[in-house]
Amino acid sequence: MTINKRKKPTSVNPIKIGQSLGAVLAMQGCYRAMPIVHGSQGCSAFSKALLTRHFREPIAVQTSALQEMDVIFDANRNLEEALNTVLSKHRPDIIGIIGTELTDVAGVDYQSMLKSYKRERNMRGGLAFSVTLPDFRGSLESGFSSTVEAMIDEMIQQVGPRGSRNVNTRQITLLPGSFLTPGDVMELKEIISAFGFEVIAVPDISTSLSGHLLTGFSPLTRGGVPLDSMLQSLQSGLTIAIGGSMERPARRLHNALGTPYKVFQGAMGLKAADELLHFLHQISGESVPLRYCWQRENLLDSMLDAHFQFAGMSTLIALEPDHLYSVSQWLEELGVEQKALITSYETPVVVEMEREIWIGDLDDAEFLGKGADLWIGNSHGISGAERIDAAFMPAGFPVWNELGAYMSTSVGYRGAMEWTNKAGNLLMQREARHRESSIRHR
């Protein structure tokens, strides 16, 4: 394994997405929640615009709307006004203060301010926490993970020491990574439930960003895991984390409450799905439900059917670290050459991959992936895929060129089968276009 970076003076068409957007995404999976971005108006506006475009759903977010003079004289005054407005008008169950690079560089101590604010107003019955997420570090994935960890920290402080809880061995807390779609989270909940467990996903975007038809308007998040269920999750006998980035929140629960945890780097592909179901079979003592046996057979058959389309083909993957790992493992099972793997920042997961990884942008993807047959990445890569004549498969965030992308499923046997068929169809269509083009030019 090697981690590489191309030497160039600037980033061109970045893959990297700000941490604060990951934080806003995490908050969307909590019921009646309101993220407050402590920064300029643009910090929340861009997050809201991208998330709305991807999920095609209303996104709850507010901002302290800092300007230059506010940062110089008293940035916390804006935050206090934002808190007063949100609490008086909307009365959310959960508030997350998301510090940006503006407040971080300026040295604003808004975390102490939040503690004083909660103490002075005797805030009870809700959850209010803060997290610092400057955009010059990490990416969407780390912002999402850090927000879940900060949320769990606040929950633990409310509940108290480990001795005061009653452990429910038939209840599992699921910590889904930022790369999982609402469809993925729903599939994982169903798989775990099939072995007789009660599942509480924290956060749970499967019931908030899944395309429901709720009427009326609410400035708060609609759907997601309610606060009482989040607190109930602290009674779980086990934590399952999907994605290496979610190990820190899982370890936080273990260190504070003694809750054992299991981390799955991914849940996509034959091997990953086998490992997940075998683990659930072992801890539950239940047989694997027949439907998953059939789904495994279906996946194997689809891999066999598609092997002519994938034979001799090469791919380029440009995704967030956890997602890159998961997709790479699936492609390895299909025997596809992985020409270039590009991600936004270095993590332990990508360091452990036995492949050459590039930390870069979509310009790097285009340069390194010349000759690739399939480009897998977010919708910002469409033009680059056209220029190198690769079939384009939208994945990750954001995706705006395909309806229903937010509900696509990649986890489990069924998800791997869907992705195998979809990628194979794209390669078949590319081959058909090449044939038509060669006939026209004869």
**Quick one: which of 293, 224, 190 has its CA closest to 35?**
224
Write down the pLDDT at residue 162: 59
Cα separation, 389 vs 429, whole angstroms: 12
In Å, what is the CA distance from 302 to each residue of 184, 333, 413? 20, 12, 11
Write down the pLDDT at residue 65: 74
Cα separation, 244 vs 263, whole angstroms: 7
**Quick one: which of 379, 373, 326, 325 has its CA closest to 352?**
325
Write down the pLDDT at residue 186: 97
Model confidence pTM above 0.85: yes
* Amino acid identity for residue 62 in this structure: Q
- 235 touches 167 (CB < 8 A): yes
List of domains in the chain: 19-159 (3.40.50.1980), 162-286 (3.40.50.1980), 291-440 (3.40.50.1980)
Write down the pLDDT at residue 67: 74
* Phi, psi of 199, deg, nearest 5: -115, 130
- Report pLDDT digits (tens) over 250-260: 999 999 999 99
In Å, what is the CA distance from 305 to each residue of 292, 302, 334, 341, 425? 20, 5, 11, 26, 11
- 112 touches 76 (CB < 8 A): no
- Report pLDDT digits (tens) over 76-121: 788 888 888 998 898 999 999 998 877 777 777 888 888 888 888 8
Cα separation, 56 vs 393, whole angstroms: 19
- Tell me the helices (H) and strands (E) count for the chain, helix number first: 17, 14
Write down the pLDDT at residue 32: 95
**Quick one: which of 405, 399, 419 has its CA closest to 310?**
419
Splitting the chain (442 residues) into consecutive groups of 10 residues, what average pLDDT does each group show?
82 90 96 90 83 90 76 74 88 92 78 85 84 91 97 90 77 98 97 98 94 75 94 96 97 95 96 98 96 97 93 96 97 95 95 92 94 96 96 95 89 97 95 83 69
For residue 2, the surrounding DSSP H or E stretch is strand 2-4
Using the 8-state DSSP alphabet, how is residue 244 labeled? G
Write down the pLDDT at residue 68: 67
Write down the pLDDT at residue 213: 67
